[in-house]
Structure 1
């Protein structure tokens, strides 16, 4: 996981506002998380930091959205992705498609099916954000250079400000993780969990004051 010194400078100077923001937890499913060594970095930090963001989002009344691949996808909906990454999650007895146990979606949170790495594509994510009056999106989950990067790019193209949490996303190698953060920083804000939590709390205080 990158520390604060490894976080690239962001091009935009946007400030997170809990009244405008939603939290997206992308593809944190058993199938994808099992690709990482268990009980060590980066999985430990990934789960801990997403948990902290989720708890604060709930406290601040921010929408919390989980995007997840469905089990046993057929070639039709998954399209060319099968040719590159295989069929994805399966219906196996160990619950491949389920969100990891520490982050199981709760009542009041949104669980959204996505069939592409970009969580906006062929989903109702954009409609959900508009209905909630949200034009900022905090992104965390896996993998940084696929789902996170592509979703952040599409958010920007739809006038939704992306905030990517550098130590609440993970990738299979440091090179891909770093590359993704550098690209995202051109059209989005890249920050650490601690920074984002501090800014969210500051935003709440500013509004209440």
Structure 2
């Protein structure tokens, strides 16, 4: 009747993603971020120190920082820890009393705690739209794209994505910023969304910045003319990186860090030099 004890699995990577039926472009001025049910109660079913959940939390935190830097509004869903039988209704039959038995676990994970300017929605059913002002608030903000991350992929996240689609709001399901009971159910949620109600993406697809130094290296190496691979402190210009490509990278990264331009990248054109610029906290 309750949620079972859960085990880690390999999160999907880009090669695992189902083929999207739509190729909607992600547009930050039209988007909102939904952090779905990332409460201690739901995460504790993986036990303490789950590497998979730590990675999901880290990916969501990256998305949240980027969205805030871009002025993208951030929404949360969170079930209350006091729910009457009338409020829970059929949820009691399917899942038991839930948070009513664990009121101390109602908070959102500390690493993702909402700020004062974030929107926290009371969650009553699988869909974040049920008994909430989400649709009306998005319309008032002129937002018709919804980035969905959190738990559980095949239950509330999938239902919310389908509900968004039926309200003419484009859902983007972030494959590596979701978690589920099993990898099979996780992939099922992605497959259904990709074919019926939205676009499935990776965290990196939505962000102009690499997530770590290894990803920065993977982004830069194809741009070099020299077949030798540079060390992290080596000058990339010496390996054939031309000025046009540097300016292209600067334009992409300036979406997050307004002070990045060709000159700032040319001061120390190395993996370490660029990562020092990119890993800073974005300024509003």
Unaligned runs of at least 5 residues, structure 2: 1-10, 210-250, 259-284
Distance in 2 of aligned mates of 1:75 and 1:130:
32
Taking structure 2 as the reference length, the TM-score comes to 0.68
Task: Give the corresponding residue for 1:115.
Answer: 124
Deviation at 1:38, TM superposition (A): 2.8
Number of equivalenced pairs: 204
Distance in 1 of aligned mates of 2:15 and 2:47:
24
Deviation at 1:198, TM superposition (A): 3.1
Unaligned runs of at least 5 residues, structure 1: none
Q: Paired residue for 1:26, among 25, 30, 36?
A: 36
- Please give the root-mean-square deviation of Cα atoms over the aligned residues, in Å: 1.9
- Quick check: which has more Rg, 1 or 2? 2
Task: Give the corresponding residue for 1:174.
Answer: 183
Does the 8 A contact of 2:39 with 2:107 survive in 1? yes
Map 1:44-83 onto structure 2 (within 5 A).
Answer: 44-83=54-93
Structure 1 ranges of 4+ moved more than 6 A: none
Task: Give the corresponding residue for 2:158.
Answer: 149
Q: Match of 1:198, SS?
A: coil
Taking structure 1 as the reference length, the TM-score comes to 0.92
Q: Match of 1:102, SS?
A: helix
**1:12 correspondence with 2:22:** yes
Deviation at 1:37, TM superposition (A): 3.6
Deviation at 1:127, TM superposition (A): 1.0
Distance in 2 of aligned mates of 1:161 and 1:198:
20
Instruction: With a CA cutoff of 8 Å and minimum separation of 6, indicate the structure with the bigger relative contact order.
Output: 1
Task: Give the corresponding residue for 1:131.
Answer: 140
